[in-house]
Chain A
Amino acid sequence: MSEYIIKNGNVFDPVQGIKGDKADIAIKAGKIVDKVGSGAKVIDAKGKTVMAGAVEIHAHIAGPKVNMGRIYRPEDKLFTCTPTKGMERMGGGASIPTTFKTGYEYAKMGYTTAMEAAMPPLFSRHVHEEIRDTPIIDEGAFPVFGNNWFVLEYLKNKEVENTAAYIAWLIRATKGYAVKVVNPGGTEAWAWGLNCLSVNDPVPYFDITPAEIVTGLIEANEYLGLPHSLHIHPNNLGNPGCYETTLDTLRLTEGYKAKNKFGREQVMHLTHTQFHSYGGTNWGDFESKAKEVTDYVNKSKNITIDTGNVTLDETTTMTADGPFEHHLTGLNHLKWANIDVELETGSGVVPYIYSPNISVCAIQWAIGLEVALMMKDPMRCYITTDHPNAGPFTRYPRVIKWLMSAKAREAQVNAFKHKDKVLSQTSIGTLDREISLYELAQMTRAGPAKSLGLASMCGGLKPGMDADVAVYNFNPDKPVANPDDIEKAFSRCAHVFKSGVEVVTNGEIVSNGHKRTLWVNVKAKENPQVMRDINEKFLKYYSMTQANYESLGHHFVPNPFAVEVDATQG
C-alpha cells in the first residue's frame, strides 16, 4: 500500500485538539501514522485546510423508498445528468442522485462515511445492493424498529431482554448498524390510516404508547451496548406546535446512561431537529421553537442531535413517517408514493419546493440554522439536511457558508419576500455566531463519529485511525472576501483519501477505493422464546420464508466490516 505525507496543511482535528496548527499528516497502509519514509508521495497542503473525512450520520441514499423517488421523478433528472467521464460512471438526479453520483458527490466534498438513515428490514437486500453500487464511501444502514410487531408485543409486556434478543437477531440478519425509530407506533397506526401524534397516543390493537416504545428501545439498546444509540425521528414531525412532542420525547432519556465499549455517551440521537422545533398552532402563526429544544439538549449530555437544514431548493421528501407524507400531499397536492411494509414499517415520498417566497419555507430555513447556532456543544450537534427531505446533501457547502458567515445569512434573509415574518417568528436576526473551522470539524467529523461509536476508526486524524483525510482549498489565514468562497471551497476538495487510497484529486474522482459496508455483529444470549416467536411469525404472517429473509449472501455485501459486540454476558 502507498505512503503519503500531506504537508504543511492547517489541521483541524477535534480528536487530538488540533485547532488549525500547521502539521503534516502521514498515511501508510490505509492508516494515519506518526511518520512515513522518504519515498512517501508528497501532497502539498500549504494554505489549505486539512480535516478527517466527513461522516454523514443521516441521509436517505439507498433503499426502496429512495429508488421509488428515483423511479417516479424522471423530471428530477431532466437536463441535469452528468456523462460518463473517465472512470466516473454517468450520474443523474438533482434531489435523488443515482448511486454512482451519490458516492462521487459525497467524496468530492470530503465525505468518506455515510449512514443510510432507514432500512426496512424486509428490503435489506435492496438497501445493500444500492450500498454496494455507491462508490468510494463506507456505508452502513439503520434498520427501523419503532413500528415492528415483535418490538410492540415484547415492550407491551416490558420484556426488554426479549426485545434485545430480537434486535440482535434482526441486526445480524440484515447486516444493519443501529436501532432506528421513526414515528414510533404512528406508522403501524398508519397501516389503518391512523397516526400517533403524541408520545401517549396508544397504537391501535397493540395498545402500547410511543413513550413505552422509546424507553423500551433505549433500555434494549443499552442492554446490548451497541456502538450507536437509539436514533429517533419523533412523532408529530412537521406540524406547528410539534416542539412539545419533541420535548416529551427528549424527556424520556432522563435517568438513562449510555453503556457501551465505543466511547458513545448519548442514549438518544434526535435526528433532523429542524423539523421537530415548530411552534404556533397553524401555518399562519407558525414560529420557531429552536430555543426551547436546544435549551433542553444543551443541558442533557446524554443526547446528540443533527440539524436537518433547509436549503431552499426543489427537493423530494421521503421518510418512514408514512402518515406525515400523506398529510403533506394533502397540503401541496404533489404526487404521493406510499409503501407500507408488513410487520415492520412504512414509508412515503412527496416532492416539495422550499421556495424563498413562501414565509413558512423561509422560517424553516431559519430554524435549521438556529438549531446549529444555539447548540453550545458542537460535539453533540451535527450538520445534515436529512437528505433529500430538507434539501440535497450536495448543498452542505452552502449550509456551511450560512453557518460560518453571518453576512451570508443576512443576505439570504434580505432576499426573502417575507423577511419581516422570518425575523418576527424566529431569532435568526439576533444570532451573530459564526461557526469556526474547528467547530465545523466537530460537527461534521469527530462528533458524528463519536455518536456512531466509530470514534476509534474515523472522524479524526490520530495515528491508528483510518486514513480518511480531506484537504480543502480554504486558507484559514486569509480573511474571507466573499462568503460564496466558503461554499466553493467546500464543494470540491483538493484531495481526499479514503482508507489511505487517494480517491479525489483537484475535485475529480481518481479511484473508487475499496468501499466497505459497516455493520454490527451483535451477539446476544441464546433466547429460544424469541427464536420460536420469529419462526411462528414467518410461518403465519410474513409473505416470505424465514430462510429467504435471512439470506444476505456475499454478493450483497462484498466488502463487509463488522463492528463486533458481545452482549452474551449482559
Chain B
Amino acid sequence: MTKTVTDVICPFCGTLCDDLEVVVSDDGKQLLEVYNACVIGTEKFLHSQSKDRVTRPRLHQDDGTWKEISYDEAVEYSAQMLAKAKKPLMFGWSSTNCEAQSVGNEIAELTRACCDNTAATCHGTSLIAIQDIGLPSCTLGEIKNRADRVIFWGCNPAHAHPRHMSRYSIFPRGFFTSKGQMSRKMVVVDPRVTDTAKMADVHLQIEQGKDYELLNALRVAFKGEWLPDVVAGIPKEKIREVADMMKSGRFGIIFFGMGVTQSLGKNHNIDEAIAVTKDLNEYTKFSIMPMRGHYNVTGSGEVFAWQFGFPYSVDLTRGFARYNPGDTSTIDLLVRGEVDAMFTIGSDPGAHFPISAVQQIAKVPSVCVDPHLTPTTGVSKLHVPVAFNGVEVGGNCYRMDNVPIDCRKVVEPPEGMLTDEQFLIKVRDRVRQLKGVA
C-alpha cells in the first residue's frame, strides 16, 4: 500500500515549487513517485532512493583509499579541524535548511571562522548591487496577478527554473491577468537564442559584456536624451522601442541571472538594472528580482543577516562580523591562501570554483558534508554523507523572492544516517568542549 504526501516543497532551485505530490510506501521508507515537479525536481526526489548511496562518513587515507568511519569519529575530526584552525572557512549552506544554517553559525562564531554561501559565485554581485542602490521588488504572486511586462535578462528559466514561467511569470491566469500569457509581453535579453528567447515577443541579442551599456542606454532613452546609433549591438531605434514598451505597461518585472551577475560588469550590471527599474517607477510600476539558483541560498543569506548582519562572505575571525567581498569572499580566500581549513556543506565548490581555488581545498584539512559523491568530496579529506533536506528531513527554506516555506519530510533516510542539523549539533557541542565554553 502507498500513501501520497501533498503540498510537498521541491528542494532544488529557487523557484521552490510547493505543490508537489510524492507517493511513498506505507512504512514511509520508500519513495515511489513524484507528481507536478519538473524533470530536475523529480530526479532530486527519486535519486535519493539510489541503492549505491554512501551512508557513512569516509576518511581519505594517505594511500589514496577511503576508509569508512563512524559519525562520532567524523564529528571529532571536524570539531578538531575547526577548533584548531587560525582561519577556517565554512562554505556552502545553500542546499540545507535554516535550522542547520543556524547551528553552523554557532560553530563559526565559536571557532572564529569565515562563513560564506554559494552567492559568492552566483548572486553575490546582486547583493553588492542591492547594497549600493536598493531593490524595488515584490513576491512572485504579484507577478502572477499583475504583471503585463516580463523581462528575462541574462537568464534562461526554460532550463534553469523550468516551472517558473508556468507557476509565476508567463502563463498563469491571475487576478488581474485573466488572459494568462496573452496578458503579457515578454522580452529576453541574451546573446544566445535560448529556449526562453524563442518564446519572447522581443529578443535583444546583446553583444556579450555590454549589458551595463545597454541598461544605461535604456535609462537614457527613458529621459529622451541623445543615444549613439548602436549600443551593445542593438540599434538605438530598437532600444527606444523597448524603453517605450516598458513604460507603457501597467506592471513590469525584470528577472535576471548569471548572464549578468557573473559576466563583465557583475554587480554594476545589476546596479544599473535596478536603476532602470527605479526609473520606471516614475512612469509606471516596475519591480526586479534575482533568479536565485540553490533552493535555500536565499535562506542562508537571511540567517547570516539576522544573526551577523551581512548576507554572505562573513568574516568572524576578529570575534565580530566583518564583510567585504574581494577580501572576505571564498574564492579570494582560497586563491590567496588565506585559510587553513575548509568545511563545505550543501554545495559543490569543487564543480564550480576556478581550479586554483579547488586545489587549495585539496591542500588544507577539509570536510565535505554532502549526500552525494562530488568533485568536492573527492578533494576533501573527510566526506560526511547526510540525509537529503526537503526529502528525508524538513526545515525552513526561502524562495527567490524571500518568501519562507517550511520543507517537508516525505520519506525516512537510510538507516542510521544523520541530518545536517544533527551532525552540526554534535560538532558544535564538541567544539564547545574543546574551546572550554559552557
With both chains docked as a complex, state the minimum distance between the C-beta of A385 and any C-beta of chain B, in angstroms.
20
Considering only residues 275-302 of chain B, those with a C-beta below 8 Å from chain A are 278, 281, 284-285, 287, 301-302
Give CA–CA (A343, B174) in the complex, Å: 11
Give CA–CA (A342, B386) in the complex, Å: 36
Which residues of chain B are within 8 angstroms of A337 by Cβ–Cβ distance?
A: 130, 134-137
> Does chain A have a CB within 8 A of B131?
yes
> Does chain A have a CB within 8 A of B405?
yes
Residue of B109, B134, B144, B320 touching A81 (CB-CB under 8 A): B320
With both chains docked as a complex, state the minimum distance between the C-beta of A413 and any C-beta of chain B, in angstroms.
34
Give CA–CA (A318, B127) in the complex, Å: 19
Asked whether A92 lies within 8 Å of B130 as measured between CB atoms, the reply is no
Asked whether B309 lies within 8 Å of A126 as measured between CB atoms, the reply is no
Asked whether B320 lies within 8 Å of A67 as measured between CB atoms, the reply is no
Annotate A222-248 by CB proximity to B: 1 below 8 A, 0 otherwise: 000000000000000000000000000
* Residue on A nearest B141 in the bound complex, by CB: A342
Which residues of chain B are within 8 angstroms of A129 by Cβ–Cβ distance?
A: 98, 303, 306, 396, 404
Q: State whether A71 and B311 are in contact (beta carbons under 8 Å apart), knowing that A337-B134, A556-B396 are contacts in the complex.
A: yes
Annotate A542-556 by CB proximity to B: 1 below 8 A, 0 otherwise: 111101100111011
Residue of A82, A125, A338 touching B406 (CB-CB under 8 A): A125
* Residue on A nearest B130 in the bound complex, by CB: A72
5 contacts between A and B (CB under 8 A): A193-B281, A338-B138, A338-B287, A543-B403, A553-B406
With both chains docked as a complex, state the minimum distance between the C-beta of A399 and any C-beta of chain B, in angstroms.
25
Asked whether A77 lies within 8 Å of B323 as measured between CB atoms, the reply is yes
Give CA–CA (A74, B321) in the complex, Å: 10
* Residue on A nearest B303 in the bound complex, by CB: A129
> Does chain B have a CB within 8 A of A99?
yes
Give CA–CA (A360, B274) in the complex, Å: 30
With both chains docked as a complex, state the minimum distance between the C-beta of B404 and any C-beta of chain A, in angstroms.
4
Considering only residues 154-191 of chain B, those with a C-beta below 8 Å from chain A are 167-168, 174-176
Asked whether B309 lies within 8 Å of A341 as measured between CB atoms, the reply is no
User: Which of the four size classes fits the interface of chain A?
Assistant: 35 or more
Asked whether B7 lies within 8 Å of A548 as measured between CB atoms, the reply is yes
Give CA–CA (A191, B144) in the complex, Å: 13
- Contacts from A to B (Cβ < 8 Å): 62, 64, 66-68, 70-74, 76-77, 81-84, 87, 89-93, 98-100, 122-123, 125-126, 129-130, 133, 149, 191-193, 205, 326, 329, 335-343, 346, 349-350, 540-545, 547-548, 551-553, 555-556
Asked whether A84 lies within 8 Å of B301 as measured between CB atoms, the reply is no
Asked whether A74 lies within 8 Å of B309 as measured between CB atoms, the reply is yes
Q: State whether A342 and B135 are in contact (beta carbons under 8 Å apart), knowing that A90-B321, A545-B7 are contacts in the complex.
A: no
* Residue on A nearest B131 in the bound complex, by CB: A72
Which residues of chain A are within 8 angstroms of B33 by Cβ–Cβ distance?
A: none
> Does chain A have a CB within 8 A of B71?
no
Asked whether B319 lies within 8 Å of A90 as measured between CB atoms, the reply is yes
- Contacts from B to A (Cβ < 8 Å): 6-7, 9, 18-19, 98-99, 102, 109, 127, 130-142, 144-146, 167-168, 174-176, 250-251, 278, 281, 284-285, 287, 301-303, 305-311, 316, 318-323, 394-396, 398, 402-406, 438
Which residues of chain B are within 8 angstroms of A329 by Cβ–Cβ distance?
A: 134, 278
Asked whether A67 lies within 8 Å of B285 as measured between CB atoms, the reply is no
Asked whether A84 lies within 8 Å of B319 as measured between CB atoms, the reply is yes
Asked whether B131 lies within 8 Å of A73 as measured between CB atoms, the reply is yes
Q: State whether A555 and B139 are in contact (beta carbons under 8 Å apart), knowing that A77-B310, A84-B319, A548-B405 are contacts in the complex.
A: no
Residue of A64, A92, A130, A548 touching B9 (CB-CB under 8 A): A548
* Residue on B nearest A126 in the bound complex, by CB: B404
Residue of B18, B131, B139, B396 touching A74 (CB-CB under 8 A): B131
Asked whether B146 lies within 8 Å of A191 as measured between CB atoms, the reply is yes
Asked whether B102 lies within 8 Å of A340 as measured between CB atoms, the reply is no
Asked whether A338 lies within 8 Å of B131 as measured between CB atoms, the reply is no
Residue of A90, A335, A343, A541 touching B316 (CB-CB under 8 A): A90
